[in-house]
Structure 1
């Protein structure tokens, strides 16, 4: 009997299933065809939604710490951060300031105050190091909300605090960072899969503003506000990743944080390379595998780990619109279900089916 060690390491299928749910469904589907294989579950993330889940599952001894924060529409939200055994903290922007917390969207007025409050809570606990996952943002405030919660002051011409959100940046006249909390001894490390600069046609407002409800006129207002912020903070707005999370990357860089490719950084902390090194098959996935997937997303990160060893990599995605080069097999849920709508309507059913389909491509146990 041929038995395989199968590592299942997908990202979330954003909007339809968490990385943990996708991992479990793939495992169930695979086991229905190949029950004798050894399955290692390792949900991953690239700095967006699900990053806390990935750390909680993958790092023994990780503890979820609750925190009440001010949400992006000023209502309190119950969020959390993760304390790792090495006294590092993982804070996920989406938990306290994410777009899924809003209905309706607030393209000009959503803010990142809650994210900064969660960071402050971790600093109050005396953590050694910060990992800041900034995907899933609801706002385009340049990280001003977060920096305000950390002690920064952003003032108008009369010396009064500006309003929260991207709209408030239009009145920005001066910045005082002297009261900012100090970085922890091990620093702050931004986890992001976005390489956009802060400003212009490839920047935070133009690329991501419409996803947050911004009209063309709103985009112009937001970009002008971010440009004003860039004049007052000691950071290059052209830095790759400065435009991440509505410019929150830029604000955090001004605080002194460093930025890293999200999937790589998450994988390093959870020792993904060690798990993949012991596997003969690795299954990864995301909601949509497209031209952007080669830019540091979870599937290409996992594929790279597999290629460095002896494991075959396999891909599952809600839709596959780019050639899945380097994968031994690939399954699109949209193809399995007959349409994207059908796949999204019962995602986990089709993820299980995809797991079974991939398992059937491997020689059956005898």
Structure 2
């Protein structure tokens, strides 16, 4: 007879029937509605076959009316496996406790690393992260996406120019770039205009004040360019004819100069290029009141380096927007490939890198005029360049007038 579908789920036993023509016992069981299968004759006076666990009682009632001897050979199916498993309660509780502990430990933050900023700003970032719920011991699935954390840090820590947040396993990596804050002088305070850097004047337009320099003049840092003290209109000479009434004003002018910078940059011939491999996995979370519950995609993918990208969609009911959203996080695998440059490519890369860095520091108003390699060396697989870069930029700096003079 064929195997009965679902018998492993409900359980079945293999019985041995001994007596004269034992196959007749299985025939009688079948005629009474008991399902039997895999009946095979062992010898002239013994047969084996399978019956369902639920039919054992009825089989025993039939046996009492016969002279056959029935014995149980094997117990099969999930009910018997479950009973054997439950008899080992310490093992069951140990496995359950181990699984829960592993699940707990793999879903909390173990470490938060902050790099790239001074200690005082690091302390502020750490304080803000604590207010966001990002600290050792916090739940991983309760955290906001890295892009959202980045924006929060930039908004809440004024000293940050840029922030990067990356999660690798149970560790959060925070990288920051400090913002250089320039204190602007009070425009209402009378003052002179002085040179902030050394250079040669190339452009000059004075709207208020007395100019003290001209185009093509060389100036040093701190040298006065426009004086904020002018003769008062309509004033008359004093009795001795030597003194004239003076008026202090806020000097205003646009003065550009040709400045220069010497920059040293080192470029390795071998470098690592970051690329996405195309392998990715998706995770889905239910988010409510800042708490994220994973609903699909558990555990971390076996990627050595990962890139995360998250999108959040609000759940709507009819025309109402519920305070629950579905967060889709795509975890992509990235890899770093070893690349090589020629010496000429390294020199070009170094020049571009230095020019870009200087342009970022000076701002978009500054104009790079030229760049020249003063000295070039190569050692230990790296090209070291000493560059001379000429720039046209605004060198005006406001300096308040000492009213006691």
Same fold flag (TM > 0.5): no
Q: TM-score, normalised by structure 2?
A: 0.20
Q: Which has the higher strand share?
A: 2
Q: TM-score, normalised by structure 1?
A: 0.21
Highest RCO, 1 vs 2 (Cα 8 Å, sep ≥ 6): 1
